[in-house]
C-alpha cells in the first residue's frame, strides 16, 4: 500500500474500506453482467480493489476514480472471459438474483442475453445513469460508436421482448 498516501496502515485500511463500500454494488453488477457467476465476480472485484491500492493514478475527482474502477473492472472481466478455462462458461441463472424488483427481472434477463458490446452500454446508460460521453470515456470509444451500440442494443432488445411477449 505504498501508493496510498497515509501515515499508518489503519488510515489506509479505512480509505480502501470506504472505497469498497462506495463502489462494490455497482462494480459487482457490472461484473455479473459480463461473467454471470458470483464467485468469478468476487475475484474480479478483489483484483480491481487491489489495483486501486497499488496501481491507481492520482484522481482529480471522485467521478474520475469511479470511471477508472469501472474501466478496470470491465477489462478484468474481458481478460477473464478470454482465459482458456473460462471460455464458454456462463451461468445466467445467477444474474436475476441481483435484480431486486420483480417487474424488472424479465427485462434484465433479456438485457443480460444481449452480446457484451450492447449489454455494457445499455447497462451503463440505463442502470448506472451515465451519459453517452461518459460511457465513451469509460469504454475508450467514440461517442458515435456508443450511440450506435445503444441503438442496435435497443433494437435487439425490442425484438427479443416482442418475441417473449408475442408483441
Q: What domains are defined for the chain?
A: 1-98 (1.10.1740), 100-167 (1.10.10.10)
Looking at residue 93, the DSSP 8-state letter turns out to be G
Confidence of residue 7 (pLDDT cuts 50, 70, 90): very low
Could you give the angle at which helices 9-35 and 62-82 cross, rounded to 10 degrees? 50
Greater model confidence, 91 or 51: 51
Give the whole-number percent of the chain exceeding pLDDT 70.
Answer: 78
Q: Which residues contact 22 (CB under 8 A, 6 or more apart)?
A: none
**pLDDT for the residue numbered 13:** 82
116/9 Cα distance (integer angstroms): 39
**pLDDT for the residue numbered 98:** 59
Cell numbers standing for residue 121:
452500454
Indicate the average pLDDT of the chain: 82
**pLDDT for the residue numbered 93:** 53
Confidence of residue 86 (pLDDT cuts 50, 70, 90): low
Span 89-126, pLDDT tens digits: 445 555 556 566 666 677 777 777 888 889 889 888 88
**pLDDT for the residue numbered 111:** 79
**pLDDT for the residue numbered 148:** 96
Across residues 38-59, what is the average pLDDT? 91
Tell me the CB-side half-sphere exposure of residue 125, using CA atoms within 13 A.
20
Neighbouring CB atoms inside 10 A of 131's CB total 12
Q: What are phi and psi of 89, to 5 degrees?
A: -115, 110
Amino acid at each position: 500500500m505504498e501508493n496510498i498516501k497515509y501515515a499508518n496502515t489503519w488510515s489506509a485500511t479505512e480509505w480502501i474500506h470506504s472505497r469498497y463500500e462506495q463502489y462494490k454494488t455497482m462494480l459487482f453488477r457490472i461484473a455479473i453482467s459480463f461473467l454471470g457467476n458470483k464467485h468469478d465476480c468476487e475475484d474480479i472485484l478483489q483484483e480491481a480493489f487491489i489495483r486501486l491500492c497499488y496501481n491507481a493514478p492520482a484522481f482529480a475527482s471522485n467521478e474520475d476514480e469511479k470511471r477508472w474502477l469501472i474501466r478496470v473492472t470491465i477489462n478484468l472481466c474481458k481478460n477473464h472471459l478470454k482465459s482458456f478455462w473460462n471460455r464458454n462458461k456462463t451461468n445466467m441463472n445467477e444474474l436475476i438474483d441481483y435484480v431486486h424488483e420483480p417487474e424488472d427481472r424479465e427485462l434484465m434477463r433479456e438485457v443480460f442475453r444481449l452480446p457484451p458490446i450492447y449489454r455494457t452500454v445499455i447497462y451503463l446508460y440505463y442502470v448506472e445513469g451515465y451519459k453517452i460521453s461518459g460511457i465513451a470515456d469509460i469504454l475508450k470509444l467514440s461517442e458515435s460508436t456508443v450511440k450506435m451500440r445503444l441503438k442496435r442494443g435497443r433494437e435487439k432488445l425490442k425484438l427479443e421482448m416482442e418475441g417473449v411477449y408475442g408483441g
